[in-house]
Amino acid sequence: MRVLALASYPVEAAGTRFRLQQFVKPLSERGIEVTVRPFLNSHQFQNLYQRKAAARTAAAVIKGASLRLRDVFTGFGSDVVFIQREAMILGPPLFEWLLSNVVRRPVVLDLDDATYVSYASPTYGALSKTLKWFGKTNDLIKWASVVTCGNKAIAEYVSAQGTRAVVIPTVVDLEMFKPIPRPADRSELVLGWIGTHSTYPYLESIFPVLTSLAGEFDFRLKIVGAGRDQISIPNVRVENLAWDLAREISDFQSIDIGVYPIDTKLYSGWAQGKSGFKAVQYMAVGVPFVATPVGGSVDIGEAGVTHLFASTNDEWYRSLQRLMSDVTLRQNMGTAGRAEAIAHYGLAEQADKLAAALRAASEARGS
C-alpha cells in the first residue's frame, strides 16, 4: 500500500516530525510505504516567522505551490493521501480538492491542533486570519474518509461534522526519549519550558509566580524555543536558548521540573484543542511537571502521581513549591511518568492505529 503524506512544514516542525516522519519506518514494517512531502523546506521554515524575511517567505510560498502541483500528479500512483493539517500553509484547499475530487484518492486528515479555530498569528497579526483561510479545515474534514485527532476535543468536533474520527495522541520514540541519571543533591534546580514563539505567551503568564519562587529557592529557568533574543524575569536566572533539533532530547533530559502553562485567556478556542504533547515528552524522560488542565493534558498521565495541575497563580506557586521542596516526590513522579509513557504512549501502539486508519480509507475507496 502506498501513501502520499503532505505536510505544511519540514521535519523541524513537531507536527511533521512526530505525526508523520517518525511513523515512516513503523508503517513500512506494516506493509505501508509512506512518502512525506513538506510544503516548505528547512531553510524556508527557518525564515517563516521573521517579518523581515516576508519577501523571501512569499517567494517560498510560490515555489511550494508549484511543487504541490507535482504532488497532485504523484497522487495518481498512491492508494491514500495523508494530510497533516493542510497541504499549503495559506489560502483555500485547492490541492486537497484536486486530490480528493479530480485524482479521486481517499484522504486521511491529521489534526493535532484546533486549526478550525481562527486566531491572529503573533508574527503576522490580523493579516494571518485572512491568509490562513481558517474555514478550509471544515472542508478538509468533510472530504476526508478518516480524521486522526490529537485528542478527544478535536475528535468530538470532527465527529460532529459527520466524519469518522480516531484519536492518536502525539508520542515519541521511547528508545530515544528516556531518563538519564539525575543527582539528588544538585545544588541548583532547573525548571524548564520547551516550546515555540506562538506558545511563549503562555509561559509569560506565570512569570510573577517564578519571581516569587526565586525568593525561596535557588533555581534556573531554562527556556528553549521562545524566539526572543532577550528574556528577563525579575530575580530569576534565565537560560534562553534557540530550539535545535540535535539538542531536543538532551534539553528535555536536563530539566528537573517541567512547566506546561496554557493561558486560556489567550486564543481560548485554540487552547482547548491543544493535544498535551509536552506532557508526553516530560513523562518519557522521567521529568515531573506542572501543567494547566486544558485540552489533551487533562487526559494524559495521572494528576498527583505523574504530575501536578495548576490553573491560578496561587496554584502554580503551591504546586511548584511542593515539587521544588521534595526531591523524593520529584523522583517518584518522574518514575511514574516514565511508566505511564511506556504503558500508554508507545510508538508501536499508535502506529497500529494509524495503519488501521489508512487501510480503512483505502478499503472504503474500493467498496
Q: Is the pLDDT of residue 188 over 60?
A: yes
Say yes or no: do domains 2-171+346-366 and 189-344 share a fold: yes
Alpha helices for the chain (secondary structure H): 14-19, 24-29, 42-47, 54-74, 94-97, 127-132, 136-143, 152-160, 200-204, 207-214, 248-253, 268-272, 277-284, 313-325, 327-344, 347-366
For residue 213, give the amino acid letter: L
DSSP 198: T
Q: Is the pLDDT of residue 51 over 80?
A: no
Q: Name which residue leads in pLDDT, 115 or 51.
A: 115
Strand partners, 239: 222
Domain edges within the chain = 2-171+346-366, 189-344
How many whole angstroms separate alpha carbon 253 and alpha carbon 45? 26
Q: Name which residue leads in pLDDT, 243 or 124.
A: 243
> How much of the chain, in percent, has pLDDT values that exceed 70?
91
Burial 182-191 (b: 16+ CB within 10 A, else e): beeeeeebbb
Mean pLDDT of the chain: 91
pTM for this structure? 0.91
Q: What is the mean pLDDT of residues 92-101?
A: 95
* CATH for 189-344 (3.30.70.1230, 3.40.50.2000, 3.30.360.10, 3.40.50.10260): 3.40.50.2000
Q: Cell match 533555581: residue?
A: 219
How many whole angstroms separate alpha carbon 172 and alpha carbon 145? 26
pLDDT at position 117: 86
- The model's pLDDT over 262-298, given as tens digits with 9 standing for 90+, comes to 987 765 566 677 889 999 999 999 999 999 999 888 9
Regarding the domain with residue range 2-171+346-366, which homologous superfamily does it belong to in the CATH classification?
Glycogen Phosphorylase B; (3.40.50.2000)
- The model's pLDDT over 212-234, given as tens digits with 9 standing for 90+, comes to 999 999 999 999 999 999 999 99
Q: What is the mean pLDDT of residues 62-70?
A: 89
